[in-house]
Chain A
Amino acid sequence: MCSTAAVTSGESTYTLELPYRRSVGPVVGAFLTGLRDQQVLGSRTAAGRVIVPPLEYDPDTGDAVDDLVGVGTSGVVTSWAWIDEPLRKHPLDRPFAWVMVQLDGADTSLVHALDAGTADAVGTGMRVRIRWADERRGHISDIACFEPEVDQ
Chain B
Amino acid sequence: MTDTERPGEDSGPVRFMTQHIALDYVVRVSPLAERFGEQLRSGRIVGQRCSSCGLVYVPMRAFCPMCTVAMGEEDELELADRGIVTSFTVLTPIQYHGQKERDDYALASILLEGADGTVGQQRLTGMPLDQIRMGMRVEAVWAPPEERASAAGERGYGFGNAIEAWRPTGAPDAPTAEFAAHVL
Interface residues of A (CB under 8 A from B): 1, 3-5, 7, 9-24, 29-30, 32-33, 36, 87-90, 137-139, 141
Contact = CB atoms under 8 A, between A and B. Distances in A.
B97 A1 contact: yes
Given A29-B15, A89-B3, A141-B4, A17 B22 contact: yes
Contact of B15 (A10, A15, A23, A137): A23
Given A5-B24, A13-B25, 14 more contacts: A4-B161, A7-B150, A10-B29, A12-B27, A12-B152, A16-B23, A17-B97, A17-B98, A19-B18, A22-B17, A29-B13, A32-B14, A87-B24, A89-B22
Contacts of B34: 9-10
Contact of B16 (A24, A87, A141): A24
A88 B107 CA distance: 33
A137 to B, nearest CB: 6
A43 to B, nearest CB: 16
B25 A14 contact: yes
Contact of A11 (B9, B21, B22, B27): B27
Interface in B3-62: 3-4, 6-7, 9-10, 13-29, 31, 34
Given A4-B150, A7-B150, A87 B1 contact: yes
B153 A7 contact: yes
A33 B26 CA distance: 38
Nearest to B8: A137
Interface string B91-130: 0000011110000000000000000000000000000000
Interface residues of B, number: 39
Interface in B55-107: 96-99
A138 B16 CA distance: 9
A11 B97 contact: no
A139 B24 contact: no
Contact of B98 (A1, A7, A13): A1
Given A1-B98, A19-B97, A22-B19, A10 B25 contact: no
B149 interface: yes
Contact of B9 (A16, A18, A138): A138
A11 B30 CA distance: 9
B22 A138 contact: no
A138 B24 contact: no
A115 B182 CA distance: 60
Given A137-B4, A141-B4, A10 B18 contact: no
A27 B62 CA distance: 59
A17 B19 CA distance: 10
Contact of B149 (A1, A7, A11, A19): A7
